[in-house]
Amino acid sequence: MRILHTSDWHIGRKLYRRKRYDEFDAFLNWLEGTIHRKEVDALLVSGDVFDTSTPGNRAQELYYRFLCRVAASPCRHVVVTAGNHDSPTFLTAPSEILRTLNVHVIGSITENISDEVLVLKDHNGIPELIICSVPYLRDRDIRKVEAGESIDDKKRKIMDGIQGHYSAVCSLADEKCQELGGSIPIVAMGHLFTTGARTIDGDGVRELYVGSLAHVGSEMFPECIDYLALGHLHIPQKVAGLETMRYSGSPIPMGFGEASQEKSICLIDFSSRKAEVSLEKVPVFQQLERIRGNWDEISGRILQLSRMDSSAWLQVEYNGSELMGDLQNRLNEAVSSTNMEILRVTNLRVMNHVLDMVQDVTTLDNLSAGEVFEKRMDAAEVPEEQRRDLVHTYREAINSLVEEDTQKE
């Protein structure tokens, strides 16, 4: 049996206000073709299907059209779990209809834990795969808040909650596996941080579990799992160096920080319960390039790209010694006869010049929400010994807002 593991599509995501639907459409078309070409039996999507809990009509159209095409393909099963960007209510609303197409959607945990254990069957009705379809575990799903809790108490409860949930779901899956003879593969899904995992600045990965208190170690996942299909982090990577515990990563770069990163999906071939993993490289559907340097370096690179007939989207960071107040005009002229488009320009020379004249000049555009809170504490002269608790309380409040299911009645 062959499984395809992917995640973090973020359909509807923009890049500096530039819509990217053509990229998402190209990726989904390629993915459908790969399912046919590689004779995939089951498709697993481990969260963050959409970039927002209220996806637009175009994003929804791409998603549902893709699911219908896959349902008509040789692929027998599709399992989709919600990520922290997804609205559980929105994602599961059409689940009854989708189930008729062998598309299973798990948006959130329910009172009945067996809802997360899927026994998938082949064309003859014989069980062939067991999926522990664990969605993103929201803080309120795994931790009971009590007055007077310390940060360490919160961390312990979160870790216990995650481990306890996976233990319960996988225990039930293992029972079903043993009832069926013990040779059916068990695959677990998830959307979370793991210890030692790599991220990239500016990739849009939100901190989970109250400011990332919980980074889950590989030892917390039950041994009965034959393959762990994770989402949330955008860099394709193994968990703790293990071949059968992986993040598939995002299929397209979420920002210029990922521009040079090779994207891939995971193909898992099972022989009984032994998993063999290979990676399938995802093509580049829209080239992104970050150009840094003085004017000669920037203009030289743009000329080089134009000779290659590039259609890249560019982020330009000028750090030359010349002040160059007409940088934007020069750049517009440099790309005017090309297929390239400049999405963002940062003139570090001008910024530094202004900052030298006016101390502590900062705009909200250049600060994260956490940095704004830090500056507010500085202004209020909050003592250092109080800051740790305040920061975690602030992050907990922000996290509760992010996790709010805006589609829920």
How many C-beta atoms lie closer than 10 Å to residue 226's C-beta?
20
pLDDT tens for each residue of 393-407: 777 666 666 566 666
Among 247, 268, 227, residue whose Cα is nearest residue 3 = 268
Work out the mean pLDDT of the chain and round it to a whole number: 88
pTM for the whole thing? 0.85
Among 290, 289, 298, residue whose Cα is nearest residue 322 = 298
Dihedral-angle region of residue 106 (phi above 0 means left; psi in -120 to 50 means alpha; beta otherwise): beta
Residue 252: band (very low, low, confident or very high) from pLDDT cuts 50, 70, 90: very high
Q: Is the dihedral of CA 39, 249, 242, 226 positive or negative?
A: negative
CATH number of 2-281: 3.60.21.10
Is the pLDDT reported for residue 70 higher than 70? yes
pLDDT tens for each residue of 48-58: 999 999 999 99
Is the pLDDT reported for residue 357 higher than 50? no
What are the start and end residues of each CATH 3.30.160.720 domain in the chain?
A: 288-361
Q: Please compute the mean of the pLDDT values over residues 89-115 and round it to a whole number.
A: 94
Among 349, 365, 285, 286, residue whose Cα is nearest residue 316 = 349
Rounded CA gap, 253 and 255, in Å? 5
Tell me the CA end-to-end span of the chain in Å, nearest whole number: 40
Helix (H, G, I), strand (E, B) or coil at 308: coil
Q: Is 271 exposed, middle or buried (0-12, 13-18, 19+ CB in 10 A)?
A: exposed
Give the domain 288-361 fold.
Double Stranded RNA Binding Domain (3.30.160)
Q: Strands across the sheet with 274-281, in order?
A: 103-106, 77-81, 42-46, 2-6, 264-271, 274-281
Of all residues in the chain, what percent carry a pLDDT higher than 90? 70
Q: Please compute the mean of the pLDDT values over residues 174-185 and round it to a whole number.
A: 97
pLDDT tens for each residue of 254-278: 999 898 899 999 999 999 999 999 9
Is the pLDDT reported for residue 126 higher than 90? yes
pLDDT tens for each residue of 279-330: 999 999 999 999 999 999 999 999 999 999 999 999 999 999 887 888 999 9
What are the start and end residues of each CATH 3.60.21.10 domain in the chain?
A: 2-281
Is the pLDDT reported for residue 197 higher than 70? yes
More confident residue, 383 or 355: 383
Look at residue 83 in the predicted model and tell me its pLDDT.
95
